[in-house]
Structure 1
C-alpha cells in the first residue's frame, strides 16, 4: 500500500510540472532570438587575419582609410572597367595584333582559357619579358617605321607570350578588382607589368595619372627587355608609360595634348614638392609683379644713398672684350676687326696697373721691414 501511495504522489507532481517545451514557448520571443544569436557567435570560429597575412583583393577595395590605394581604384560602385579607344584591337599595333591572332600559342591554347585566374597562372609560367617580339626574331634590316615598311604576318617575327596574354586579358574583360590584384601582386613582377600595360592600352587617358601616381616611388625591380639587361623599378616603368610612346619597338596609344600637358605639370609640381621637402628651394610667396616693384624701389633707394656709386665702382667688373663704341653700336662693321685688338690692349693696360700696384705694395712692405729696429 505504501508503494502505491508513493507512486500516486509522484504522478501528481509530474502532472503539476510544465513540460520543457511549454516552458520554452512561454519565454518571450526577443529573449529566444538573443540566445540564438549568442549560440551562433559561439559556434562560429574566429576569422581574424594575422598581422603578416598577404594582401588580398578585399584589402584594396572600398577602403577609404587606405592611403596607398588611389581613389580611382576604391569606392567605385561598378566593378566593370571602361574601355577606351578601339573595342576590337585594344589599340594595339596592326602588325603585333595580326601576329598575336595567328600565333600557335594563342590559337591553340589561350583561346580555350576563359578565366582570369588561369591566365595569371600562364603569366607566372610563360612570361619572362614584356617586349612585343621574342629575342632575335624581329627582322629590322632595311625596314622603316613601327610596322617595318612590309606586309604579312611573318614580317614582324615571333610575337611574345606577354602580348598574347595581354590581348587575351582584353578579350576576357578584366574587372576592376582583378586589375587591382594584378598591379598589387607579389607573386611575379611580370603580373604587375602586364597589369600596368593593360591600363596604358585600355583605360581613358584622363584616368592614367590617378592609376599610376601611387606607384611612381615603387622600388620593386623588373627587367622588361627580351634577354635581360634593362633592369628598372616600377616607378621608372610607370613614368615611361606616362611620358613616352615608344615601348621596345611598338607604340602606346597617343595621349591627347591637353591631358599630356596636365601630366607634365603634375610631374613638375611633384618635383618642386620634393625639392621643398629637402630644403633646396624656397617657396614662392610673392608674385612677379611684387618682385618687380621691390626691385624698382631698391634701385631708386640705392641711387639716393650716399656712396652707392662708389660701391658700384668697387665691384669687380668683367674683362672688356670690346670697345665702348662697338658695345653701343653692335651693327657697326667699321670696328669689327679692330675691336679684339682694343679689347686686348685694355686688358693688358689693366693687368699692368694691377702689377704696378702689387709692386708698390711689396716695396712698402720691404721698407717697413728694414726700418723696424732689431732687438
Structure 2
C-alpha cells in the first residue's frame, strides 16, 4: 500500500474522507464560478454575460496614474525597496496595512518640504524634495503591481479588521478603475456611516460615505491628485447624484404622508427622527454578487 492509499484508508476509518472530498469540490466550484455566464441586474434592466475575477486597469499600466513626485518617492523609499518588493502575497500586504497604516495621505506628517516648489510636481528633480512618502501609498502601489483580483478588492472594501484596509481599497478603485465603473463600485457605500480619519495626525474625521463622495467629486486628495474623470462621465455621475437625492426626498415625503394619516396616541411620534434611506447591511457587503442583486429585497435595491 503506497502513501496515498494509506492516507485515504486512515480518513475512511476516521470518517473524514467524504468531508475532505466535499470540501475539495466546493473549492473547485468557487474557483470555476468566475467566468461562468450569469444573469445580473442593474438600473437599466437584466443582462447576461461573464463576470471576471480579473480587474481592468485604466490609464497608465506602470505608474498607476500617480503623481510623478509621489511615484518616485515610493520607488526610492526604504520601506518599499527593502520590505514590500519581496512580498508576493495579498494577505501579507493586508496584514502590513493593518500594522503600518495610520492615515491615507501621500506624505508623512512634517516631512513635506514646499519651499521653492511650484506646480503639482515642482521639485521633481530631487526625490527627497517630496518628503517621506507614506506607508499607505507604498502599499497601494505594491497592491497595484501585484494586480489584485476583484474578489480580493471586495474583501478589502468590506474588511472589519481596519478602516484603513477599507480606505486603501477605495483609493485603489479611484486610481485604477475605469471612470465609467466608479459609480458601480462606490454608490453602494454613499450611506456608509462608519468613520475614518484619513489625515496624517488626525483632525479630519468623516464617514466612509463622505469620503466616497469626495473621491467622486473632487480631484485633490491631501496635496496630490486623483486621475481626472472625463467630462461626459462626470456629468452622468452628477445626474445620478441628483436622481438619488430626488428619490430619497420622495421616499421621505411618502413616509411623512403615511405617518400623518395615522393618529398619534398618547404623544406617540413626538420627537421622532425620520428614518435614513439607506441600503441594508447585507446589501452593502454583497452588492457585487450578481445572484444576490437579482433576488435582493426591495429595500436593498434603493
Match of 2:220 in 1: 246
Match of 1:221 in 2: 195
CA RMSD of aligned residues (A): 3.3
Match of 1:188 in 2: 162
The structure showing larger relative contact order (alpha-carbon pairs under 8 Å, at least 6 residues apart) is 2
Residue 156 (structure 1) aligned to one of 122, 125, 130: 130
Query: For the residues of structure 1 that align with 2:125 and 2:206, how far apart are their CA atoms?
Result: 34
Query: For the residues of structure 1 that align with 2:164 and 2:189, how far apart are their CA atoms?
Result: 15
Write out aligned runs for 1:1-375 (5 A).
44=19, 76-149=50-123, 151-279=125-253
Query: For the residues of structure 2 that align with 1:140 and 1:225, how far apart are their CA atoms?
Result: 18
Unaligned runs of 5+ residues in structure 1 are 1-39, 48-56, 281-375
CA shift, 1:163, in A, is 0.2
| Larger gyration radius, structure 1 or structure 2 | 1
Indicate conservation of the 8 Å contact 1:127/1:162, yes or no. yes
CA shift, 1:152, in A, is 1.1
Unaligned runs of 5+ residues in structure 2 are 1-14, 23-29, 255-302
Query: For the residues of structure 1 that align with 2:158 and 2:94, how far apart are their CA atoms?
Result: 13
Indicate conservation of the 8 Å contact 1:143/1:150, yes or no. no
**Structure 1 length-normalised TM:** 0.56
Residues 308-342 of structure 1: CA deviation (Å, up to 9, x unaligned): xxxxxxxxxxxxxxxxxxxxxxxxxxxxxxxxxxx
Residues 143-190 of structure 1: CA deviation (Å, up to 9, x unaligned): 332223552101110000000000000000000100010001111000
More strand by share: 2
Query: For the residues of structure 1 that align with 2:66 and 2:107, how far apart are their CA atoms?
Result: 13
The alignment of Structure 1 onto Structure 2 pairs a total of residues equal to 229
**Structure 2 length-normalised TM:** 0.69
